[in-house]
Amino acid sequence: MKASVQKVLDRYKSDPTRLMDILIDTQSEVGYVPDAAVAQIARSLGISRVDVEQTLSFYHFFNRKPAGEFQVYLNNSVVAEMYGRRKVTEAFEEAAGCRFGQVSDDGLIGLYDTSCIGMNDQEPAALINNVVFTRLTPFRVREIIRDIKAGKKVEDLVVEGAGDGENAGKLVRSMVQNNIRKIGPVLDPEYIPGEALKKITRLTPEQVIQEIKLSNIRGRGGAGFPTGLKWEFCRKAQGIQKYILCNADEGEPGTFKDRVILTELPRLLFEGMAVAGYAVGATEGILYVRYEYRYLQRHLENVLAETRKKKLLGKKIMGKEGFDFDIRIQFGAGAYICGEESALIESAEGKRGEPRDRPPFPVESGYLGCPTVVNNVETLCSAVKIILNGGEWYKSFGTKDSTGTKVLSVSGDCKYPGIYEVEWGFSVNDILDMTGADEPQAVQVGGPSGTLIGPDEFDRILCYSDLATGGSLIIIGKQRDLLKDVVMNFTDFFVEESCGSCVPCRSMTVLFRQKLQKILDGHGVKQDIEDMIAWGPTMKINRCGLGQTAVNPILSSIKNFRHLYEDRIRKDRSFDGGFDLQAAVAESCWAVHRKPLTEENDHE
């Protein structure tokens, strides 16, 4: 093991800022990251073991002990539950002979829950040793485990021909489907790589920024900061080295549009990064991709190599002196928070994905302390089209304050889940019609951190001034128990994904979950609802967007579905501490072999 870890260390020149890669590669070699490897890595990087450990223990996909030769990560998103996850879970446990969170006795199979893996349109889905398995059924699960036990390779278990487009290609070979349902200017397959680069070589960086500013495009990740302005700030910032980071860490449950872009239009994305590099004066780009999409690694690396060969990346792009730009791919290791731009930077530097204090903003001091632009995949792709067709052209799409198009990821209770590129200004009703959703009870707009709306608000418009969204829409049918199946699932998600730095985010998420559970258990009183409404605003003082929105599922459902809470609370009392005497004494009665307390023998 020592030699293979050393090889990994050499590969990254023992650079502590590449700790993520070092850990990912070590785990690929060894299967997990044992103590000895931690010590070896620490020594080689000149940092302490706890420093290695603090990065290692932050990310969900790193293992500190043997985690099974075959590691099954089954998505636990709301939509997976809608599509029969419970039965799939049972099938896995029965076939593997161990529970979720455990490894089978022979060390062959490890079963784990994982947050949304970006396959909401083809659930239930799982990653098995980084290979994606979609639309799982108990039958299929039994087949998979049987074949694993029979010694087959995971790659050989995928259903040939199930995947479309590049998914069917040799380098991806996955069952994943793109489900592109509506194409607009960004998803338009009629795209010739290099045209935009050719065009910008005739423009000054300032002119490029001007065009982007003219288009009024705003960040597509969800926060909606004007892209042109971000580029301009970075351009003007002092710094010899500058960076373009592309955020492909789409972790918001229900979002999967970047996965489709990475699969089908990576050239467009790389060109977008190069355009941004030219505009701000950066020579290096990093594409930060969530670990869940590692199945795309060979494909992406291959396209990168091909792009370099075509001189669309590298030195003297398009033959222009001084236009140097290249890209490396950085994988995450399982942490939703890394989709927050400063957490993403920290992670790309090999650290825990904890958001930074601002100011300073990344445009002034970002990756390795240098001026950095962090843009969403879709933003960079749109930038290429803006350069090609002009800012004015782009403004002809969408509304006045929300120009252009938005690629939506639609999933849940509808006939046609998938991705839809629509102009801003679309109403929720339009989307429901388009996706074949019959009489939904609610729509979660913008993922768990967004807004839960009911039918009386389906006429609302997708745009930055009304329903702003990073693009996730989860449609929830009438048959679902909104609080138990949806709101609780989202709340669990935030408890799991908080980085733990800010007190309100770390603690309040847990307290809210407890309150919701109390209400679901029939111990809720009116005060519990009032408490949550009163405490909610304190989340606004958390450092980052995740923390600020982490109790939104509950607050938003109280606001728009208050009757569901009212229906469940006790009307006969104003106080209920949730205390259950019979339950509280059960353990001690068992310990001393005493008859447990019941209604009958509880004589007060």
Residues lying near another protein in the complex (CB under 8 A) are found at 39, 42, 46-51, 53-54, 57-58, 335, 352, 357, 359, 495-504, 506-511, 514, 531, 535, 537-538, 540-543, 574-575, 577-579, 581, 583-595, 597, 604
| Closest separation in Å from C-beta 55 to another protein | 9
Angle at the Cα of 524 (from 582 to 475), degrees rounded to 5?
A: 120
Please, which residue, 480 or 515, has the CB nearer to another protein? 515
| Closest separation in Å from C-beta 348 to another protein | 17
| Closest separation in Å from C-beta 132 to another protein | 25
| Closest separation in Å from C-beta 592 to another protein | 4
Question: Token digits for 164?
Answer: 């479309």
Please, which residue, 184 or 226, has the CB nearer to another protein? 226
The arrangement of strands across the sheet holding 284-289 comes to: 326-331, 284-289, 243-248, 372-376
| Closest separation in Å from C-beta 535 to another protein | 7
- Helices within 216-326 (DSSP H only): 227-236, 257-264, 266-280, 297-309
| Closest separation in Å from C-beta 459 to another protein | 31
Please, which residue, 415 or 603, has the CB nearer to another protein? 603
Q: What is the DSSP string of 69-138?
A: SEEEEEE--HHHHHTTHHHHHHHHHHHHTS-TT-B-TTSSEEEEEES--S-GGG-S-EEETTEEE-S--H
Q: Do 219 and 545 touch, CB atoms closer than 8 A?
A: no
| Closest separation in Å from C-beta 553 to another protein | 16
Helix (H) or strand (E) segment spanning residue 589: helix 581-591
Q: What are phi and psi of 285, to 5 degrees?
A: -130, 150
Distance, in Å, from the CA atom of 362 to the CA atom of 231, rounded to the nearest integer, reads 11
| Closest separation in Å from C-beta 63 to another protein | 13
Please, which residue, 479 or 574, has the CB nearer to another protein? 574
Please, which residue, 271 or 364, has the CB nearer to another protein? 364
| Closest separation in Å from C-beta 422 to another protein | 32
Helix (H) or strand (E) segment spanning residue 557: helix 552-560
Please, which residue, 389 or 501, has the CB nearer to another protein? 501
Question: Token digits for 203?
Answer: 């423009």
Neighbour-count burial of 496, counting CB atoms closer than 10 A to its CB (0-12 exposed, 13-18 middle, 19+ buried): middle
- E strands, 436-569, in order: 442-445, 451-453, 472-476
Please, which residue, 368 or 586, has the CB nearer to another protein? 586
Question: Token digits for 317?
Answer: 């792009």
- Nearest Cα neighbor of 70 from 134, 12, 156 is 156
Please, which residue, 16 or 418, has the CB nearer to another protein? 16
Q: Give per-residue burial for 553-582: e unless 16+ CB within 10 Å, then b.
A: bbbbbbebbeebbeebbeeeeeebeeeeee
- Nearest Cα neighbor of 489 from 517, 511, 464, 465 is 517
Please, which residue, 173 or 570, has the CB nearer to another protein? 570
Measured between alpha carbons, how far apart are the two ends of the chain, in Å? 64
Please, which residue, 65 or 594, has the CB nearer to another protein? 594
Please, which residue, 142 or 570, has the CB nearer to another protein? 570
| Closest separation in Å from C-beta 54 to another protein | 4
| Closest separation in Å from C-beta 468 to another protein | 18
Would you tell me the crossing angle of helices 19-30 and 35-45 to the nearest 10 degrees? 150
